[in-house]
Amino acid sequence: MTSSKLKDLLNPNSDGDLGTLISRARRMAQLTDIICSALPESDRIAIVAANVRDDGELVIICASSAWASRLRYETDRLLQAAKDAGVSAHTCRVRVSQQ
């Protein structure tokens, strides 16, 4: 594979599946950063990832069940942070990572 074909394949602005996947991963990373910044610094390490489903559900993936319990008390703050960033989310679900 030539370098120009690889460059086109990995281009997030392309119409291909990899471009869509790269764009989605970037949006998830940005949302994760936004959600983390809404929490106290000591709690930020708990969040592994954040995503918004098509139905408007904000899904927070955290590191352990103990963190999940703690973050469930912060769902209003997390939803507000997402809304402030222009994300249309109306519910929040906290899940534990399967690492």
CATH of the domain at 66: 3.30.300
Each residue of 34-71: pLDDT tens digit? 999 999 999 999 999 999 999 999 999 999 999 999 99
Q: What is the pLDDT of residue 21?
A: 83
Count other Cβ atoms within 10 Å, centred on residue 49: 16
| DSSP run (H or E) holding 98 | none
**Nearest C-alpha neighbor of 50 from the set 14, 66, 74, 17:** 74
Q: What is the mean pLDDT of the chain?
A: 88
Q: What is the pLDDT of residue 98?
A: 84
Please give the residue range of the domain that contains residue 41.
Answer: 3-96
**Sign of CA pseudo-dihedral 24, 27, 56, 48:** positive
Where does the pLDDT of residue 19 fall: very low under 50, low under 70, confident under 90, or very high at 90 and above?
A: confident
CB 92 within 8 A of CB 60: yes
Structural domains in the chain (count): 1
Across 1-99, the runs of DSSP E, i.e. the strands, are 47-52, 57-62, 91-96
